[in-house]
Structure 1
């Protein structure tokens, strides 16, 4: 793994460790899903929020199946670095559905577009400083109407997990500056 991917994975690990205990576990994914839903005042039972929470747990289970080499139900940084590349190589089936669910959750009116405020609310809820979330949106949106499409988000997310080309700086900063 190259230095750029290592930096991105380090940033991702820090976000996934929601409770800050130095490991990631199922409770971190539950906490994150709850924070994202709360950012829009959505109850656990609402369909969009439930889909997002389900995909968070699917992502956790896929990651755990690959990364939890000692079987303790927790993933430390070493296990994470060794396994995240495998999970990234299966982006479409293991990671993509989470990003798609997050996009549809943020798209409050169901028009297929996410506004700056909607995007920033979700990304800030996962732990990215609000100013960085807004700046990330500006880099990703690219449209004259100031909205983000699912296709642009999925391209950026794929590049975040898999791309080491420094020229793709917008996607490398999906979760704020490295």
Structure 2
């Protein structure tokens, strides 16, 4: 149940998009994500904020066009799930909406703290621990190891291409027993 498709999409909304924790998505969440991405990627420098704000405004505009069925400027969890079901389930990464791909690629940059092009165990741990309460690192490490194929193991982690593939499976594969369910650690 913890790794069901519904729970995975709930996780994305609650822990990745609903930054202000008000129970729905709106333009404020995406502006908050712009600032967070700018600060994290810039390691404190926020001189490129306008660039990040533009990307996140475009993401909000596209997501709201797809998901805000009642056009009230808010996207409920149900509206978001319906949109993901229509645009992502059963599809490859290349078929995802443009804005969703931009968010996924920006998220990878945030994960890749040292900007070496590979998200390793320490970066994965850091990302997980900032979102989920846990008193044991072992489940996080186990989740990371389950994501890795032989090539990932050789390079010491996930590249952007591999991350995109796993993210597409996380949202697009409704089964609850594939490795991509662990993309964000233990749910």
Question: TM-score with structure 1 length normalisation?
Answer: 0.75
Offset, 1:53:
5.2
Contact 2:108 2:160 in 1 (8 A): yes
Shift of 1:66: 1.4
Q: Alpha-carbon deviation of 1:87? A: 3.5
Separation in 1 of the partners of 2:66 and 2:76? 12
The reply to whether residue 149 of structure 1 matches residue 159 of structure 2 is yes
> Who is 1:164 aligned against?
174
Residue 93 (structure 1) aligns with: 98
Displacement of 1:28: 1.2
C-alpha separation between the residues in 1 aligned to 2:6 and 2:86? 14
Q: By percentage of residues, which structure has more strand?
A: 1
**1:98 shift after superposition:** 1.9
- Which stretch of the first structure deviates more once superposed, 156-165 or 112-121? 112-121
Q: How many pairs align?
A: 172
Gaps of 5+ in 2: none
Give 1:56 shift: 3.6
Note if 1:140 corresponds to 2:147: yes
Deviation at 1:140, TM superposition (A): 2.6
> What TM-score do the two structures reach when normalised by structure 2?
0.72
Does the 8 A contact of 1:52 with 1:101 survive in 2? no
Distance 1:80 1:54, change over 3 A: same
Q: Which moved more, 1:90-99 or 1:62-71?
A: 90-99
Q: Is the 8 A contact 2:34 2:56 kept in 1?
A: yes
**Is the CA contact (8 Å cut-off) linking 1:64 and 1:73 kept in structure 2?**
yes
Partner of 1:66: 66
Bigger drift between 65-74 and 107-116 goes to: 107-116
Call closer, same or farther: CA 1:30–1:138 in 2, change over 3 Å: farther
Give the whole-Å Cα distance in 1 for the aligned partners of 2:37 and 2:140: 14
